[in-house]
Structure 1
Amino acid sequence: MLKIENLSAEIDGKQILKGLTLSVAAGEVHAIMGPNGAGKSTLSYVLGGRPGYEVTGGSVEFMGQDLLELDPHERAAAGLFLGFQYPVEIPGVSNVQFLREALNSQRKERGEEPVSGGEFLKLAKEKAALLRLDMDMLKRHVNVGFSGGEKKRSEMVQMGILGPQFAVLDETDSGLDIDALRVVGEGINAIMRAPDKGVLLITHYQRLLDYVKPDKVSILADGRIVQTGGPELALRLEEEGYDVVMADA
């Protein structure tokens, strides 16, 4: 579903990714863990097409397409969703307005008919209930005045509404308390656990993986994947730390 081969990338002339190779199959949740500065967020930004990140080598194939040849909006329409570590605020734009425009923009790119106002509200209520987010929150400006947990739950509602084939989630557990963590984890499972979908889940800690059970876990360090294993690898990292585990890699 997602195949990354020898990917190198830099920002402001500084090399961050240094020949990263990784693949995620359909139906798979693949967790990426690693120390600060390893390149985890850079990987998510490169996949999403964020400006300023220059790919200097390698390739990324997404569902049979050359992902790096697509503009960010084309990647989204092709089924790629990027969840941010720090969701941005958009004053003056309501969540409902933003999400309906985003959904219909993607549908237009795929040659599909737009969703009517009634259909959209039904869909939004369904996904908001899944993440235990009051519909009144979706009438407010995007993320303005939201707590950290509300921003992350709102972003998961966005993912549910857009219905991507593949989600790259960058530290979705950041800023979540215990209850919000469970709700977000359950939401990811409900929205993305399917034979034809995939998830690249970037996290520092085991705690989110207690709810979103990964099929594989990889350690990213110094711009490369240095070790890949099963869920037990995340447990070992939690117990022993990166230095010990990577010394054995």
Structure 2
Amino acid sequence: MAQLKIENLHVEIDGKEILKGVDLEINEGEIHAIMGPNGNGKSTLLSAIMGHPRYEVTEGRVFIDDVDVLELEVDERSKLGLFLGMQYPQEVSGVTNSDFLKSALNAHRETPIGLFEFVKGMESSIERLRMKEDLAHRFLNEGFSGGEKKRNEILQMIMLQPRFAMLDEIDSGLDIDALALVARVLKEEQDKQKMGLIIVSHYERFFELIKPTHTHIMMDGKIVLSSDDTLVTKIDREGYDWLDAKPAEKPEEHQRRIVLESCAIRDRVGDK
């Protein structure tokens, strides 16, 4: 079973520490939701794992199985099976979606993908995501709406078939119908490929559709609470103030609270 393991990860941006010791394990087939107030390190975590040059890892390790991800270049991390669906996908004028995707696929293969196989796969993915038929010939994200850009990120994920996909607010910019569509396609791909998903979002509605197996709350550069999908409901109803007000705990107290609160949340949701 493939595993993405993050150990004591510390990350700085322009000399300012953003991540202050993140520990996380994601197994294939699991869906991990990461929530928390803005500016607390969620996007930094995903970008640092993928290898964005602005983010400097000052301490900690990241592994996929026994391979040290932090020792690899960005393209090597992608070939290893990592994918990042960006919060703000970039427009690239002069490069068509088909050329971009074909080049990305060939970089992952020993032999180039056949034209028929590529066209069939891309047309099928476009149809599943209900995107415009001329997508292949349009320049990458140029003139796309916010929702189109996010669906285009999912299309790339489908074609590349990563082992671990990290999705940064992939639901923002989607209307209610597109939200349900993207959640359904994501779940289908996750079930088929057994990939691990890490999803950053603020919205209970999306997590209701995607059903995370694990939920983590990030505050001040650390994961302060982990539970199952019932934690999403508690955050939606009560916000984060109840967490911010809690005093520091010893490790054994923290673990005991996680177990007790998970049970309590599940009981309250079951009573509704």
Deviates more, 1:13-22 or 1:180-189: 180-189
Unaligned runs of 5+ in 2: 247-256, 258-272
Mark the runs of 5 or more structure 1 residues left unpaired by the alignment.
none
Shift of 1:129: 1.4
- C-alpha separation in 2, matches of 1:106 and 1:131: 23
Could you report, residue by residue, the CA deviation over 1:47-86 in whole angstroms, capped at 9, with x for unpaired residues? Answer: 1100121101011111321010110000000110000001
Equivalent residue runs for 1:1-249 within 5 Å = 1-107=3-109, 112-194=110-192, 196-247=194-245
Q: What TM-score results when the alignment is normalised by the length of structure 2?
A: 0.87
**RMSD after superposition:** 1.3
> Whose RCO is larger (CA < 8 A, sep 6+)?
1
Identity over aligned residues, as a percent?
49
Q: Distance in 2 between matches of 1:65 and 1:246?
A: 36
Between the aligned partners of 1:163 and 1:240, the Cα distance in structure 2 is: 37
Aligned residues: 245
Q: Secondary structure in 1 aligned to 2:226?
A: strand
8 Å contact 2:161–2:193 — kept in the other structure? Answer: no
Task: Name which of structure 1's ranges 61-70 and 15-24 shifts more when overlaid on structure 2.
Answer: 61-70
Larger Rg: 2
CA contact (8 A) 1:6 1:20 kept: yes
Q: Give the distance between the partners of 2:31 and 2:192, measured in 1 at CA.
A: 10
After superposing on structure 2, the runs of 4+ consecutive aligned residues of structure 1 that deviate more than 3 Å are: 245-249
For the Cα contact (< 8 Å) 1:152–1:184, is it kept in 2?
A: no
> What TM-score, normalized by structure 1, do the two folds share?
0.95
Please state how far the C-alpha of 1:197 moved relative to its aligned partner.
Answer: 1.4
Give 3-state SS (helix, strand or coil) of 2:33's partner.
Answer: strand
Q: Give how far 1:191 is off.
A: 1.6
Cα deviation, residue 194, structure 1: 4.4
2:222 maps to a residue whose letter is R
Q: Deviations over 1:167-196 (max 9, x none)?
A: 000111111111111111112112223474
Q: Report which of the two has the higher share of helix.
A: 2
